[in-house]
Structure 1
Amino acid sequence: MEDDQILDALNAHWQASAAGDINAEHDIYDDDVICDYPQSGERIFGRSNLQALRGHHPGKPSGFRVRRILGKGDIWITEYTINYQERQAFTVSIMEFSGDKVVHETQYFADPFEAPAWRSQWVEQIDG
């Protein structure tokens, strides 16, 4: 699959995710996809389990914004923010493709934190 086709598929995936379209969101995944959440030590096997897990999340996302998508060939990274129950999570998704389907995804979730005042002279604020 060409890079521009993968980028189109990723954009459709993230738009469906933001819209809460659980079926279209999971079209990108292979039936035997593996999804890892390293921070919690969990691994989800299969598209049906991944879709069921996300469909039963008690705090449905209330906001979603893709910051950027980077990739080439079979490896693609998306940085985005997602809001759950009035809390924002900075998220990184690393997707590995085989053909036109994701066969492995790793997701990292991070809470925002206040920037310490001691380093203010060397930084500028960006839109979180």
Structure 2
Amino acid sequence: METQNIRMAIDRHWVASAAGDQVAEHEIYHDDAVCEYPQSGEVIRGRDNLRALRSHHPGRPSGFAVRRVVGEGELWVTEYVIVYGDKRTHTVSIMEFRDGKVSHETQYFADSFEAPGWRSRWVERGA
């Protein structure tokens, strides 16, 4: 039952995030949650700081699509794409839960890039 509740909370979180609903988006976090952005070395401590950071983002996403959510128990991973204007950013969110809420999240961000032609005979184009 706990797995189902967490999955429903994650789904609500991503729908709220895509819609720009800051209150609903952050209901999933503990008050003392920690969010890390390893690529920039930033650590955001506390739900209030995380909400404030996200609500002051200078560029509102023009698109948001969850590719998949996998997990079990207290560890869940979401792959999604955020679109800012004409730039697609592929993102991975790793959420660790404690008592049904996120206590720690790590997010990785990667820009799209052109596939090199030399490997075209071994690959197919995806989304």
Structure 2 portions without partners, runs of 5+: none
| Length-normalised TM-score, structure 2 | 0.97
1:12-52 deviation digits (Å, cap 9, x = unpaired): 00000000101000000000000000000000000000000
Partner residue, 2:125:
125
CA distance in structure 2 between the partners assigned to 1:33 and 1:85 by the alignment: 30
The alignment partner of 1:17 has SS state of: helix
| 1:106 is aligned to 2:76 | no
| Length-normalised TM-score, structure 1 | 0.97
| 1:22 is aligned to 2:22 | yes
Shift of 1:84: 1.9
| 1:13 is aligned to 2:13 | yes
Partner residue, 2:94:
94
CA distance in structure 2 between the partners assigned to 1:56 and 1:11 by the alignment: 23
CA distance in structure 2 between the partners assigned to 1:46 and 1:84 by the alignment: 26
Shift of 1:85: 3.4
CA distance in structure 2 between the partners assigned to 1:30 and 1:84 by the alignment: 28
Partner residue, 1:66:
66
1:44-79 deviation digits (Å, cap 9, x = unpaired): 000000000000000111110000000000000000
Partner residue, 1:83:
83
| 1:38 is aligned to 2:35 | no
Structure 1 segments (4+ residues) deviating >6 Å: none
* Partner amino acid, structure 1, of 2:17: S
CA distance in structure 2 between the partners assigned to 1:85 and 1:102 by the alignment: 30
Overall identity of the aligned pairs, in %: 63
Alignment length (residue pairs) = 127
Query: CA RMSD of the aligned region, Å?
Result: 0.8
The alignment partner of 1:95 has SS state of: strand
* Partner amino acid, structure 2, of 1:95: M
* Partner amino acid, structure 2, of 1:79: E
Shift of 1:124: 0.5
Shift of 1:92: 0.1
